[in-house]
């Protein structure tokens, strides 16, 4: 398995991680727990060492799932989790954000129990809290790092200015933000800041929440609890208009004897050596397909073809529901 370092932090992980959110939430009913335990362990067998979760996924149940699945492999893997949303002790979502230092410590203690571990390798602030100075948040995580309960600080969906302010208090190892062929906003301001500061990028939804695989079209229906029902980019009209992205990927994939998903992931990997995408899945054959992207090296001509094609395309529809967009720092 290819390895990558997240910026200058020294944190080394497999070049592709596994996003585990969809095993417990967001994409319809939770998958069978024991089947997901086996899938996560199979990912370890295949060389994946980087696993992404959050207290908000479930809530709580995704961390518990990873805790069970990774317990036999704890010293061989890197676990990333997140704090920052308002969630009560029963797991009820309260709708806002909360990054007060006392709350950060409370979440970490609970996450450690659920993950069955004594340290969190990478701890992200899930969303920026406008009521708490980022310096206070970074300071709280710095204290936890000093106690050995956390190894590295991460941010998610933070602006360039917020990243710089946090990094001045406690070095930021990684930023997690949406980045893919149909969501390239980080290229404008975020990537240059990360490069300058030596911070890695962990793209979530690197396959466009499944759309860039080519398996979704304007006639696809989702489970009523699937969050994509609320996403403007996933209306039938937007999906029909955005099909051009899949057509571009499919043309390159056919020539390279690959799949659109593999080309999409290989394109991300080619952007910077410190980018580590975390595609999620609940199916073994999709996990194996995604990992196949690591063997796909896009030639300069392939990258130029994709770049030229993207220059003619416009993404239709907002990437997240309005309520979540308001909480992002991008």
**Token pair 């499944």 in the structure block, residue:** 210
Catalytic, out of 27, 57, 124, 179: 57
Task: Check: CB of residue 11 under 8 Å from CB of residue 271.
Answer: no
Strand partners, 204: 178
Q: DSSP letter at 79?
A: E
Provide DSSP, 208-264: TTTGGGT---TT----TTBGGGG-GGGSHHHHHHHHHHHHHHHHHHHHHT--HHHHH
Is 124 among the residues known to form the active site? no
Cα–Cα distance for residue pair 43/54, rounded to 1 Å: 19
Cα–Cα distance for residue pair 281/21, rounded to 1 Å: 9
What is the torsional sign of CA 96, 101, 103, 104? positive
Contacts of 229 (CB under 8 A, 6+ apart): 222
Cα–Cα distance for residue pair 136/133, rounded to 1 Å: 5
Contacts of 45 (CB under 8 A, 6+ apart): none
Q: Which sequence positions are flagged as catalytic?
A: 57
């Amino acid at each position: 398995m290819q390895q990558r370092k997240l910026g200058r932090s020294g944190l080394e992980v497999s070049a592709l991680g596994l996003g585990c959110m969809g095993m417990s939430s967001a994409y319809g009913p939770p998958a069978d727990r024991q089947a997901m335990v086996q899938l996560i362990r199979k990912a370890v067998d295949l060389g994946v060492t980087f696993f992404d979760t959050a207290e908000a996924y479930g809530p709580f149940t995704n961390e518990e799932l990873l805790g069970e699945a990774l317990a036999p492999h704890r010293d061989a893997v890197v676990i990333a989790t997140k704090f920052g949303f308002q969630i009560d002790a029963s797991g009820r979502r309260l709708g806002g954000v909360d990054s007060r230092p006392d709350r950060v410590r409370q979440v970490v203690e609970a996450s450690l129990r659920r993950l069955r571990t004594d340290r969190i390798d990478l701890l992200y602030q899930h969303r920026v809290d406008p009521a708490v100075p980022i310096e206070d948040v970074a300071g709280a995580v710095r204290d936890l790092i000093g106690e050995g309960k956390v190894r590295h600080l991460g941010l998610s969906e933070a602006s360039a200015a917020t990243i710089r302010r946090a990094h001045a208090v406690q070095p930021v190892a990684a930023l997690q933000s949406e980045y893919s062929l149909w969501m390239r906003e980080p290229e404008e301001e975020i990537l240059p800041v990360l490069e300058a500061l030596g911070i890695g990028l962990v793209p979530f939804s690197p396959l466009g929440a499944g759309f860039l695989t080519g398996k979704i079209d304007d006639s696809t229906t989702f489970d009523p609890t699937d969050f994509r029902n609320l996403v403007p980019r996933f209306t039938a009209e937007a999906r029909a208009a955005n099909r051009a992205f899949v057509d571009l990927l499919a043309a390159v994939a056919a020539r390279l004897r690959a799949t659109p998903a593999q080309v999409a992931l290989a394109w991300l990997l080619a952007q910077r050596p410190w980018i580590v995408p975390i595609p999620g899945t609940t199916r073994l054959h999709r996990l194996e397909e995604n990992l196949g992207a690591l063997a796909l090296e896009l030639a300069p001509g392939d990258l130029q073809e994709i770049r030229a094609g993207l220059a003619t395309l416009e993404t239709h529809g907002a990437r997240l529901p309005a309520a979540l967009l308001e909480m992002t720092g991008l």
